[in-house]
Amino acid sequence: MKLFQKEHHHFQVTQGIYGPRSPRAATAVVEDVTKNNNPPRLRQLFVTVSLKLCLAVKQHVSHLKSFAFGGRLLAERKTIDVDYADDTTLFNGIPDAFVDISSTAYPLVITFLKFLLMLDGTIGNSYFERFPTVRDLSLGKIGNVRSKALRNFIRLNQVTYDLFCSAYWPHFNSQLTKKLDSSRVFTEIMSHIKGSLQARDGKLCLEEYLRLSESRTSKVSKKKREMIYDIFQDYEKMKVESGHFDLADLVNDLHRRFACERYHGDLMDFVYIDEVQDLTMRQISLFKYMCKNVDEGFVFSCDTAQTIARGIDFRFQDIRSLFYDEFFPCSQTDGMKKKGRMSEIFNLSQNFRTHAGVLKLAKEKWMARMKFIQRL
């Protein structure tokens, strides 16, 4: 795991294990020593969508650090039951902001929702302050108590695909819904109308959205896009009236704040985004504010056959365009724009969940069971 290799390398450098002839490349991994001569800090961020996967990675990294660093960094003593884990329990001690984070909390292993809430608490006024319920719940509350109240509000008021189908879909124009699939409509709203890189003002206008049908990769005709956009407009009105929000609202509000306010939180040296197939392009582009190491600071991994988030229309090739347009800083050289380098896409040739050994064992068990049944 690249994340752990960086941690181990950083630990060796700061402990003075390397001699004068050792590779100097290691110094690029760590920050400069601060004015107070404190040990340099390596800030790494690992983000995944799944809470269960986040817990597994968090515990694995903690155990590896404890083993590799000679017991100086103890693994987490509490064993959290994955079936009963929630954000508040898993991220106890990590604030809802990228400010005043303890050095022992790094590498940060968090869910994408926690990442959004930490950004929300770092720059400008929180998006959720516009909701009277949140203001009342948060009044006089700090730390984990406020975090728990905020998460309860999110759980009850975030428009997920299930809520979209149960509370919104039946109230749209039936002449439109009978010709459309609810899953496709939700995907178009979240990934394209509100979640594309072109949605600079939080949404595409009708003309911009209709132009997407001209693309070779378009899955929706122009006529259907017109119907979807009508539903989208009704959806936005109903959402405001119900006091609900969706993740695209929060993400677009964060982009707006970053455009007009300075970020004063921790900057990351390396960022690892897992399950990237469950994120929209607009969501992924938020990471550009967190790390300036565009040459080697980002690792994206995905399994396009394992998308679990509804409303996501993902193509891994789009990340290359995202990097060129959003992440790489452009510099003017001889009248030409020069951009950074990007590594090739690495495809795993082996499925580690069902490799040949697992399949062979399953086949042997199945054959043995069939023979047993035939004897009966």
Q: How confident is the model at residue 116 (pLDDT cuts 50, 70, 90)?
A: very high
Report how far apart, in Å, the C-alpha atoms of 49 and of each of 4, 87, 231, 277, 315 are. Answer: 20, 12, 28, 10, 17
Mean pLDDT of all residues in 76-93: 64
> Residue 6: pLDDT above 90?
no
| Local structure of residue 158 (DSSP, 8 states) | B
So what's the pLDDT on residue 359?
Answer: 56
Residues shown for the chain: 376
Report how far apart, in Å, the C-alpha atoms of 35 and of each of 31, 39, 69, 252 are. Answer: 12, 10, 26, 37
Q: How confident is the model at residue 335 (pLDDT cuts 50, 70, 90)?
A: very low
pLDDT higher at 107 or 39: 107
* Backbone torsions φ then ψ of 215, nearest 5 degrees: -70, 150
CA dihedral for 247, 250, 253, 255, sign (positive or negative): negative
So what's the pLDDT on residue 275?
Answer: 87
pLDDT higher at 254 or 302: 254
Average pLDDT along the chain: 79
> Residue 316: pLDDT above 70?
no
- Report yes or no on whether pTM surpasses 0.85: no
> Residue 307: pLDDT above 60?
no
> Residue 272: pLDDT above 90?
yes
Q: How confident is the model at residue 30 (pLDDT cuts 50, 70, 90)?
A: very low
CA distance 322 to 247: 19
> Residue 363: pLDDT above 80?
no
Which range has the worst mean pLDDT, 25-29, 245-249, 265-269?
A: 25-29
Q: How confident is the model at residue 115 (pLDDT cuts 50, 70, 90)?
A: very high
Which range has the worst mean pLDDT, 114-128, 199-213, 314-328?
A: 314-328
Which range has the worst mean pLDDT, 56-60, 79-83, 84-88, 141-145?
A: 79-83
So what's the pLDDT on residue 371?
Answer: 59
- Coil, helix or strand at residue 63: helix
